């Protein structure tokens, strides 16, 4: 058997613990596939004396990063999260000649370019399968499996916490707060769960998917991002009455005048494949010129699915190390100097149907005024419903539109919200009538 692949672990929380479990539980398969064992030689944590489940030998744990970086390792695995000190530690690791595996999409979305340059200069690799889609091998597939094709569009449910929460609210009638607490207890949520429910985690993942699918850098802060925190139990109920389910969707589409990128809760027909992706499951629907549509589906967060992706990356690096090779693939799939420049498209140009929920005081002429303003903005109504009002209370009026331009819809909403009979800002959600 050849030399073991020695690993230093930065972090031993949900994902790090899963990595240790997989290395122990699947040791035989891993050795048979890699031709040697993977050994974790040092682990960085905040509190080295904390009791860990399953137990980790105290001698492996340290709260001093130098003990990990200076150890005799081939690979540093970063599963600690956050920007700093993760960024500094990985740059240090690369300068020492270590390869890097990371699950940290926030770090990659903000500092990926710097890390990849450092890796190229050091002739080392940074790989990141677990950063998007948890256990789904979507990064490897986009970088290698679809390398021959031209990708037109991506539709992804890529935040497990948000999908888990919306499913629990929709199917079990759970409150938003209870659903979030449950997702946190299961280890799905980020350390700061506003990253999940606010859509930022999905925007960071979408920026990575766009880079490796279209060869385009879009800062995640520039992606139009709306979280599930704007969806109410009423919206879920009304959507059901129209035959839709509400899903946290990330969308990227290539147009002649740029790439459209957005993250938001979306009405999807309940009968479609993406509409059937529930709980912590994620899915990415990719549409490309030669292959057509292809769907990748699996658990998008949680200890073992995510750790499985991390360990598969260690195995890939182990194989490269055994062959004395690195840099086989460009980190972001494309040789950037050969990609034609493209910009991000103005989000106001997005075209799709919209779900609009107006909260209005029930008085004569309300519907005529709303539909008049929508008509003036070129927005055509497809379906409408209004529930019975209680005296003195506002009543929801819900409208599904035909395909409309986002800029026109936002302008129409601003005009309607200025009217006296409107009780609160109008809720709008986009609709994707996917097949
Ligand atoms: P976690 O449970 O909070 O674990 C973080 C670990 O890192 C802990 O062991 C913690 O030490 C250690 N740590 C954090 N900051 C540190 C510091 N400054 N110095 C030393 N040690 C530090 O996080 P996680 O859920 O495993 O997530 C880790 C990464 O994987 C994140 O980037 C996350 O976005 C990504 N990810 C997570 C999932 C998931 O389902 N959880 C899925 C995909 C990707 P202590 O144990 O002593 O506190
Ligand atoms: N918090 C993330 C999610 C973890 O819920 O999808 C997986 O990246």
Ligand number, closest to the Cα atom of 10:
1
- Sequence-separated (6 or more) residues with CB below 8 Å from residue 45: 11, 12, 61, 62, 63
The answer to whether the beta carbons of residues 357 and 397 sit under 8 Å apart is yes
The residues lining ligand 2, judged by C-beta closer than 6 Å to any ligand atom, are 134, 159-161, 188-190, 196, 201, 300-301
CA 42 to chain centre: 30
Per-residue model confidence (pLDDT) at position 330:
96
Q: Which atom of ligand 2 is nearest to the CA of 202?
A: 6
378 by DSSP, 3-state: which? coil
339 by DSSP, 3-state: which? coil
**Above 80 in pLDDT, residue 211?**
yes
Per-residue pLDDT band for 392 (boundaries 50, 70, 90) equals confident
Mean pLDDT in residue range 102-107: 98
Query: What is the overall mean pLDDT for the chain?
Result: 96
The bridge status of strand 99-102 relative to strand 292-299 is unpaired
Per-residue pLDDT band for 316 (boundaries 50, 70, 90) equals very high
**Above 90 in pLDDT, residue 1?**
no
> What pLDDT, in 10s, does the model give residues 278-293?
999 999 999 999 999 9
Per-residue model confidence (pLDDT) at position 390:
78
Mean pLDDT in residue range 230-257: 96
**Mutational pocket test of ligand 1: of 13, 22, 50, 131, the residue with most ligand atoms within 8 Å of the beta carbon:** 13
> What is the DSSP-derived secondary structure letter of residue 211?
H
Q: What does the block give as tokens for 60?
A: 């492996």
Which residue matches tokens 């060869």?
215
Q: What does the block give as tokens for 181?
A: 């607490």
pTM: 0.97
Name the residue ranges covered by the structural domains of the chain.
5-134+303-338, 138-299, 347-431
* Catalytic residue list contains 205: yes
> What pLDDT, in 10s, does the model give residues 178-200?
999 999 999 999 999 999 999 99
Per-residue pLDDT band for 333 (boundaries 50, 70, 90) equals very high
- Sequence-separated (6 or more) residues with CB below 8 Å from residue 346: 258
Mean pLDDT in residue range 415-423: 97
Per-residue pLDDT band for 144 (boundaries 50, 70, 90) equals very high
Class of domain 138-299: alpha beta
CB of 187 closer than 6 angstroms to any ligand 1 atom: yes
Mean pLDDT in residue range 369-389: 95
For 239, 267, 270, 383, the CA distances from 242, given in Å and listed in that order, are 5, 10, 10, 8
Per-residue model confidence (pLDDT) at position 67:
98
Q: What is the CATH topology of the domain spanning 347-431?
A: Alpha-Beta Plaits (3.30.70)
Q: Which atom of ligand 2 is nearest to the CA of 162?
A: 5
Q: What does the block give as tokens for 22?
A: 């997989």
The reply to whether 347-431 shares the fold of 5-134+303-338 is: no
> What pLDDT, in 10s, does the model give residues 50-78?
999 889 999 999 999 999 999 999 999 99
Which residue matches tokens 């692949």?
5
**Mutational pocket test of ligand 2: of 128, 301, 305, 309, the residue with most ligand atoms within 8 Å of the beta carbon:** 301
CATH 3.40.50.720, domain 5-134+303-338, yes or no: yes
- Say if residue 85 is preceded by a cis peptide, omega within 30 of 0: yes
Burial status of residue 381 (CB atoms within 10 A of its CB: 0-12, 13-18, 19 or more): middle
Q: Which of 42, 50, 174, 205 does the annotation list as catalytic?
A: 205
Burial status of residue 138 (CB atoms within 10 A of its CB: 0-12, 13-18, 19 or more): buried
For 162, 242, 359, 381, 424, the CA distances from 398, given in Å and listed in that order, are 24, 10, 9, 10, 14
Residue nearest to atom 1 of ligand 2 (CA): 189
Which residue matches tokens 């919209």?
354
CB of 50 closer than 6 angstroms to any ligand 1 atom: yes
383 by DSSP, 3-state: which? strand
Per-residue pLDDT band for 260 (boundaries 50, 70, 90) equals very high
For 77, 199, 263, 427, the CA distances from 230, given in Å and listed in that order, are 36, 11, 13, 8
**CA 273 to ligand 1 center in whole angstroms:** 32
**Mutational pocket test of ligand 2: of 18, 130, 161, the residue with most ligand atoms within 8 Å of the beta carbon:** 161
The answer to whether the beta carbons of residues 419 and 372 sit under 8 Å apart is no
């Amino acid at each position: 058997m050849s030399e073991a692949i020695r690993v230093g672990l930065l972090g031993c929380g949900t994902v790090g613990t899963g990595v240790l479990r997989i290395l122990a539980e699947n040791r035989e398969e891993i050795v048979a596939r890699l031709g040697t064992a993977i050994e974790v030689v040092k682990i960085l944590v905040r509190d080295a004396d904390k009791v860990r489940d399953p137990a980790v030998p105290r001698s492996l744990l340290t709260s001093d990063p130098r003990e990990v970086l200076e150890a005799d390792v081939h690979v540093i695995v970063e599963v600690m999260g956050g920007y700093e000190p993760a960024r500094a530690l990985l740059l240090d690791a690369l300068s020492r000649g270590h390869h890097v595996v990371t699950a940290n999409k926030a770090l990659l979305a903000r500092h990926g370019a710097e890390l990849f340059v450092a890796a190229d200069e050091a002739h080392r690799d940074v790989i990141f399968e677990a950063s998007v889609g948890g256990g789904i091998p979507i990064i490897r597939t986009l970088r290698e499996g679809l390398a021959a094709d031209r990708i037109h569009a991506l539709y992804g449910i890529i935040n497990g916490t948000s999908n888990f929460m919306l499913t629990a609210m929709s199917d079990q009638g759970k409150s938003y707060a209870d659903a979030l607490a449950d997702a946190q207890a299961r280890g799905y949520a980020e350390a700061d769960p506003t990253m999940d429910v606010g859509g930022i985690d999905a925007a960071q993942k979408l920026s990575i998917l766009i880079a490796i699918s279209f060869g385009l850098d879009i800062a995640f802060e520039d992606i139009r991002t709306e979280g599930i925190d704007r969806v109410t139990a009423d919206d879920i109920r009304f959507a059901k009455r129209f035959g839709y389910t509400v899903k946290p969707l990330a969308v990227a589409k290539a147009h002649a005048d740029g790439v459209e990128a957005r993250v938001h809760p979306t009405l999807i027909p309940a009968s479609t494949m993406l509409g059937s992706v529930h709980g912590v499951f994620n899915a990415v629907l990719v549409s490309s010129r030669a292959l057509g549509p292809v769907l990748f589906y699996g658990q998008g967060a949680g200890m073992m699915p995510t750790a499985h992706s991390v360990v598969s990356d260690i195995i890939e690096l182990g194989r490269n190390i055994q062959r004395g090779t690195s840099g086989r693939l460009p980190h972001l799939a494309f040789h950037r100097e050969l990609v034609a420049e493209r910009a991000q498209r103005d989000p106001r140009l997005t075209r799709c149907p919209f779900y609009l929920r107006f909260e209005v005081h029930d008085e004569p002429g309300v519907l005529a005024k709303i539909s008049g303003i929508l008509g003036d903005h070129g927005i055509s109504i497809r379906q409408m419903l209004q529930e019975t009002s209680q005296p003195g209370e506002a009543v929801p009026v819900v409208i599904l539109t035909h395909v409309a331009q986002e800029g026109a819809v936002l302008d129409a909403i601003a005009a309607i919200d200025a009217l006296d009979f409107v009780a609160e800002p109008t809720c709008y959600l986009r609709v994707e009538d996917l097949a």
